[in-house]
């Protein structure tokens, strides 16, 4: 006998509880491992892009195998099985969920559906809210005009100082006409475009976000913004520059104001579904209207990008009134035709 053996630690048998847990985990795994391995093999082929090589019977069995694996994971968590089995099942169930319920299209496919009818269909679905928002915007323009005509102080209250500069009551026709002129250089216009997009996006997103308060704040915001336009329209009409101002505004305004209209209508659509869900639960009505409104807002962002480019480049470089009207009118015709004449079948109107 080696004298050093007396100093060596003797092996200690694991407690009976640990042995029973390990045995239980082995039995659990062996009883279900065949289904797990089959599911893993199917997932591996699908993840490698070999869907066509997966037999039909395997595809039919995929949902059942997924539910079996999910059930096994639930049992493993409840019975506190070993960490390795839990980690394997969690990964397997996550991969299977993506293949069974995950998105089936690429970004290119989504863009094709979005521009190929999904966006326009969502806009047509909120036609009632568009009509309401349009009526409020027209009323806001009239209110702004009437208030400024009644008292010039209203002009300074309605028009932000960034817009007022030299465009104030009492300014001469020459000064106001100069403010409508373009520029000779394009230097710096790209930064101007980014600023305009940021400003317009804030207004549109706010108009949409306020819709969750039953849509009333969205309508108030539209009313206030269009009152600003009405006050400015009053100012230029007073010196006989109504046509020139309309042309100056139309280049980007037919796109920008349309985008703000859609943003406000989308917010109102969500708010109206909360106030009047019909026969559906409120949460279900909100979820459905929210998906539709979100698709509208995705398009609004694109419209605002287009409006910012037109405002910073087109409006500054195109100085002739007929040319400005031509650009603005063409953009308005394009949006109207796309939204209300383009009737390609939608794919559900979801993002």
Cα angle value 135/311/252 (rounded, 5°): 30
Same domain, 77 and 25: yes
Same domain, 150 and 170: yes
Last residue of a domain, one of 71, 101, 131: 101
Q: How far apart are CA 38 and CA 329, in angstroms?
A: 61
Q: What is the DSSP letter of 346?
A: P
The answer to whether residue 351 sits within a structural domain is no
Q: At what angle do helices 16-47 and 56-78 cross, to 10 degrees?
A: 150
For the entire predicted model, the pTM comes to 0.68
Q: How far is CA 173 from CA 55, 62, 166, 210, 249, in A?
A: 78, 75, 11, 39, 17
Last residue of a domain, one of 101, 127, 152: 101
Same domain, 123 and 248: yes
Same domain, 85 and 114: no
Tokens 């007929």 belong to 322
Q: How far apart are CA 109 and CA 119, in angstroms?
A: 14
In 165-215, which ranges are continuous DSSP H helix?
173-179, 189-209
Query: Which pLDDT score is estimated for 36?
Result: 86
10-residue stretch averages of pLDDT, the chain, 351 residues long? 50 48 66 85 78 74 85 78 80 83 66 87 94 96 95 89 75 88 55 59 81 82 91 93 92 92 92 85 85 92 89 82 94 94 54 42
CB distance 223 to 136 below 8 Å: yes
Same domain, 134 and 277: yes
CB distance 222 to 264 below 8 Å: yes
Same domain, 208 and 332: yes
Last residue of a domain, one of 101, 120, 146: 101
Query: Which pLDDT score is estimated for 350?
Result: 44
Query: Which pLDDT score is estimated for 241?
Result: 93
Same domain, 117 and 77: no
CB distance 148 to 230 below 8 Å: yes
Q: List CB contacts of 308: < 8 A, sequence separation 6 or more.
A: 193, 194, 196, 197, 200, 252
The answer to whether residue 11 sits within a structural domain is no
Same domain, 118 and 91: no
Query: Which pLDDT score is estimated for 85?
Result: 79
Q: How many domains is the chain built from?
A: 2
Q: How far apart are CA 253 and CA 234, in angstroms?
A: 17
Query: Which pLDDT score is estimated for 227?
Result: 93
What is the domain range of residue 146? Answer: 108-340
């Amino acid at each position: 006998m080696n004298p050093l053996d007396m100093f060596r630690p003797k092996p200690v048998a694991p407690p009976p509880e640990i042995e029973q847990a390990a045995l239980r985990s082995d039995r659990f795994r062996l009883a279900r491992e065949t289904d797990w391995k089959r599911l893993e093999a199917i997932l591996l082929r699908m993840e490698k892009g070999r869907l066509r090589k997966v037999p039909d019977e395997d595809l039919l069995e995929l949902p059942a195998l997924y539910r079996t694996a999910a059930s096994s994971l639930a049992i493993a968590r409840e019975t506190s099985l070993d960490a390795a089995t839990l980690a394997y099942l969690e990964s397997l169930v996550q991969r299977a969920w993506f293949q069974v319920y995950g998105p089936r299209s690429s970004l290119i496919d989504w863009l094709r559906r979005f521009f190929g009818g999904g966006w326009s269909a969502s806009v047509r679905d909120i036609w009632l809210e568009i009509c309401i928002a349009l009526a409020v915007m027209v009323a806001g323009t009239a209110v702004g005009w009437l208030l400024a005509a009644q008292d010039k102080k209203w002009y300074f209250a309605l028009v932000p100082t960034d817009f007022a500069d030299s465009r104030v009551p009492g300014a001469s026709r020459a000064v106001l006409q100069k403010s409508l002129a373009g520029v000779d250089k394009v230097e710096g216009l790209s930064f101007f475009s980014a600023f305009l997009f940021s400003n317009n996006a804030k207004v549109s997103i706010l108009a949409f976000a306020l819709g969750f308060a039953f849509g009333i704040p969205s309508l108030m915001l539209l009313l206030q913004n269009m009152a600003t336009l009405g006050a400015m329209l009053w100012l230029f009409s007073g010196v006989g520059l109504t046509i020139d101002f309309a042309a100056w505004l139309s280049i980007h305004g037919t796109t920008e104001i349309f985008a703000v209209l859609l943003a406000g209508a989308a917010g109102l659509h969500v708010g109206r579904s909360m106030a009047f869900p019909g026969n559906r639960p409120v949460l279900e009505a909100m979820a459905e209207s929210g998906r539709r409104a979100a698709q509208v807002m995705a398009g609004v962002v694109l419209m605002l990008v287009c409006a910012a480019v037109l405002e910073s480049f087109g409006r500054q470089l195109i100085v002739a009134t007929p040319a400005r009207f031509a650009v603005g009118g063409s953009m308005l015709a394009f949006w109207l035709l796309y939204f209300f004449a383009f009737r390609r079948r939608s794919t559900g109107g979801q993002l």
